Structures are given as C-alpha cells and as structure tokens.
Amino acid sequence: MTTVDDDRSRERTSTEPPTGPAAAQLALDRAVARLLELQHEDGWWQGELETNVTMDAEDLLMRQFLGVRTREQSEQSARWIRSRQRGDGSWATFYGGPPDVSTTAEAYVALRLCGDGPDEPHMVAARDVVLSHGGLGATRVFTRMWLALFGLWSWDDLPLLPPELVFLPAAVPLNLYDFACWARQTIAPIAVLASLRPTRALGFGVDELRGAAGSPPDSGAPLFRLLDRLVRRYDRLPYRPTRAAALRAIVSWIVDRQEADGSWGGIQPPWVYSLMALHAYGYSLDDPVIARGLAGWERFTVSEETAEGPVRRIEACQSPVWDTALALVALADAGIEPSAPAVQRAADWLCGEEVRVRGDWAVRRPRLPAGGWAFEFDNDLYPDIDDTAEVVLGLLRAGSGGSRRAAVARGIEWVVGMRSRDGGWAAFDADNTRELAYRLPFCDFGAVIDPPSADVTAHVVEMLARTGTHPDAMQGGVRWLLTHQEADGSWFGRWGANHLYGT
C-alpha cells in the first residue's frame, strides 16, 4: 500500500540533481543547447576576444590624432578604462598579471585626455605605479612613440626605423619579410611616422610621469651600434636621396595590404598605425582608404550597459573562423549529426571563408598554390596554418562532400607546403626564424618572428593523422614535437600562451 510519505520520498528523489553519467549527459545537453543558441544566423560563432586597456587608450589617442574623437566615445571609453584599474592603481597586460608600466602609463594619458585630473585619487595611484616602475623612460618603445606623436616625448630619443627597409630584398637580413606578419605590418607604418615625425596637440603635459631620466635602449652588438649611428647621421642630412622614394614605396605597400573590411591583418596594431601614417603622409579623412579603415574599426568596438553607465571597449582581433571550426568539432564530439542544420550552415559559411588569393606567405613559398583559412572575418593576405588545420578537422566532421572536398584538399596541400625546414609548422609563414630581428633596439615589445611552435605543429599532425595524407610530413611533425618537449614533460603553447594548452 502506497502512503503519502512514500509519495513524498519519491518526489524528493526525483528532484535531486543527477549524478554520474546522468549528470554528465545533462551538462553536455545544456552545453550543446547553449552553443546552438550562440550561433549567428549566417552560421558562424564568435566569442569576444578580451585584451587589456591599451586597446582603448590607443583608440582614443588615434582618434585625437585624426581629429575624430567625440565626447560620447571619450566618456564611455574612460568609464571602461577606470573599471579595469586594480586596487594598487595599476593596469596589467593580462588578467591577474603584474602591474605593467606601459599599460598603466597609456591608461593614465588616455584618462587625462578624457578630462580626469592628475590630482584625482585614481590618477595619483596610477602615477605612483608608473614612477615606482621607472617612469616613462621605462616604458616600451610603442608607448614612447605614442607620446612622441603628441609632443610628450622626443622623436630623437626613439630608435630609428628608416622606411628604406622596404627596398631590402627578401634574401637580405632585416628585410620586412624577416619579421612576422603582425610585426611586419606594424613596422611599415611606424617607419612612415618615424620619418615624418608628426605631432598633434593634447592640451596638457605628463611631466609628472617622467621620474628619473631613462637610459637609451641598448642597441646590442657593436655592428648594430654602428648601423644605428649611420642611420641617424643619414636621417639628419638636409638631402636624403632615397627618402621620398622609400616613403612612396612603403605607403604603397601599406595601402596594397588593406583588407576588404578596412583593416590591416584583422588586428589592432597595424590598423591604428596605418591610419595615422597614411593621414600624416597626406591622405585625407574622406579618402576611401582612411574612410574604409575607420568604418571597419566600428565592428571591433564592443558597447555594453553597466551599472555605472554605458561603456565601449576595443577588441584587438576577432576570431569567427577559429571559433566556428572549434564549435563544429565540439558538436560532432557531442553526438550532433552532420546533417543537422546548424552544422551545415557552419560548414557552408566556413567554405565561403576559404582564402584563394596569394599573400605575403608566397614570398617564401612562391610556387605553392593558394589555400587555407584565416582567423578573422577578413584577412585574406594572411591565412594561418593553425586555423586551416582546425577548419579541415571541422569540415571533415560536418561531411566534406562536393565543393567542400576540394576546399579541404586545397587546405591540406597549402598546410603541407608551409612546413618549415626543421619539420615543424609556424602560424603564418615558413622559415620565419631569423632571430637577428631581436637585436634591433626597436623590438622590445615581444615576439617579432614566427618560428614553428608545438601547438600549431600538433594541430597539423592531428589533421594529417585524421585525413591519412602526407605520412612523411606527419612523421616529421611528430619528430619535431618529440624534439621540442620541455624538460618537465610539457609542451609550451605559443598561441594559447601556457604549457597546458600546448600539452
């Protein structure tokens, strides 16, 4: 006989959270449902690419340089920058990272530009961080270059980067193609700015951040010190026979590499510097190149309502191709059938994003047919090996018949053709390993070359193993990975910058 107490007992049991396999299945079902909710109607996925406030500070400074900064933009960006300041007054380059003098200095200058007074408590705290870390003289070259653009730092105290670099053939050390694509596209417009030395007014100074006088950057070996002296001597000549031609050539190089959405490489650094360099060279704001660049920049702007009011922040890059490929693999792993509409929409969208034009990668691989995929919506000149490998894996899970089969085949052949001489794969280029670039005093801002890495090589090995193609290249990749295992057993991930990702 069933009693009321028995019914209540069963009711309690039925509402208890599941455990074991049932709990795992519930979590999986919820994750799949959420992923499908996040898919764009055109078939792609894109998560926000979070970064630090240098993006927002430099956005405001770029707008000030071009004369297009508005009060609304300033208020919303300043609100965001303030919200990211930590309790010690600093800003970091990554979440939970140590105080960074360059990021903090740029945030401080941007907030001054937006009207924050130097005596306000949060500004005093930021100033103390900058001073305690060596003042403006301890900031990176990029930060001091931003200051020079507004007369807050002397161009004479910055490392020289002559536009004549554009004339160096690809076989000569320190030519533009010796640098990774992200550095190459940034160095070109900076060379224009460093040659023209434009300045714009801010309406205030930042002497309170100077601290002790900083030492000039060490230019390394005697050869580099000699080269630096020679370049500076040439730069001071009243007549420089190659300069006008070099500026014309490098400006043309920059314009030729603007993407369809107005960006350069689909990333922030070359984008903002190219806009300022072209404007300084004489391009007006209504010139199609500048107008496209500014219009496209709006897509990288994230607006959000907060308790303190609306904020705006800038994405350094956007990742729809990567996110969509990963989503396809995840859905297949979760048991979603290839015929599912969401899967087919995503696969069709990815096929439409295939890169069929030749970019800078062809300098090192002149006979390799075009193929592959980029990370972003628009970056046709710089497809990357990592994305291509992951897209191939995603398309295979979605069913790669018909036109997809041809796209997959082209992607595989392009990836194999981009293998470096040592058997590994880099992100964008092959054999981009000349470390001489790091000896330049200008290159104090991080990675400036694109050598093979464990994470990219591992994705290619996975792709080749899955497709059963090019076994010799796959085994070469395996040997490369075994050779580059760290002493503690891990592999370092360069693009997911930690050992867990690489491993």
Q: Summarize pLDDT for 253-307 with one digit per residue, the tens.
A: 999 999 999 999 999 999 999 999 999 999 999 999 999 999 999 999 999 999 9
Q: What is d(CA 177, CA 187) in angstroms, rounded to the nearest whole number?
A: 11
Residue 475: closest CA among 411, 424, 420? 424
Given a cut of 70, is residue 161 above it in pLDDT? yes
pTM: 0.92
pLDDT digits (tens, 9 = 90+) for 197-234: 999 999 999 999 998 655 544 545 566 666 777 777 77
pLDDT at 194: 93
What band does 1 get if pLDDT is binned at 50, 70 and 90?
very low
CB contact at 8 A, 136 and 210: yes
Q: Of the residues 178, 378, 386, 455, which is catalytic?
A: 386
pLDDT digits (tens, 9 = 90+) for 41-57: 999 999 999 999 999 99
Q: Which helix (H) or strand (E) holds 303?
A: strand 301-306
Show Cβ contacts of residue 302 under 8 Å, excluding neighbours closer than 6 positions. 48, 312, 313, 314, 315
296-318 CB burial, b ≥16 within 10 A, e <16: bbeebeeeeeeeeeebbbbbbbb
Q: Is 56 a catalytic residue?
A: no
pLDDT digits (tens, 9 = 90+) for 59-96: 999 999 999 999 999 999 999 999 999 999 999 999 89
pLDDT at 14: 55
Q: What is d(CA 443, CA 218) in angstroms, rounded to the nearest whole number?
A: 11
pLDDT at 12: 46
Given a cut of 80, is residue 251 above it in pLDDT? yes
Query: Higher confidence at residue 239 or residue 131?
Result: 131
pLDDT digits (tens, 9 = 90+) for 87-127: 999 999 998 999 999 999 999 999 999 999 999 999 999 99
pLDDT at 264: 97
User: Tokens for 397?
Assistant: 């899970």
Instruction: Report which DSSP code applies to 493.
Output: B
Nearest 5°: CA angle at 280, between 276 and 283?
Answer: 90
CB contact at 8 A, 421 and 406: no
Please give the C-alpha separations between residue 444 and each of 138, 268, 438, 493, in angstroms, as whole numbers: 11, 18, 8, 21
pLDDT at 47: 96
CB contact at 8 A, 310 and 79: yes
pLDDT at 8: 46
Rounded to whole angstroms, the maximal C-alpha distance in the chain is: 107
Say what percent of the chain tops pLDDT 70: 93
Q: Which helix (H) or strand (E) holds 101?
A: helix 101-113
Given a cut of 90, is residue 416 above it in pLDDT? yes
Nearest 5°: CA angle at 167, between 165 and 170?
Answer: 90
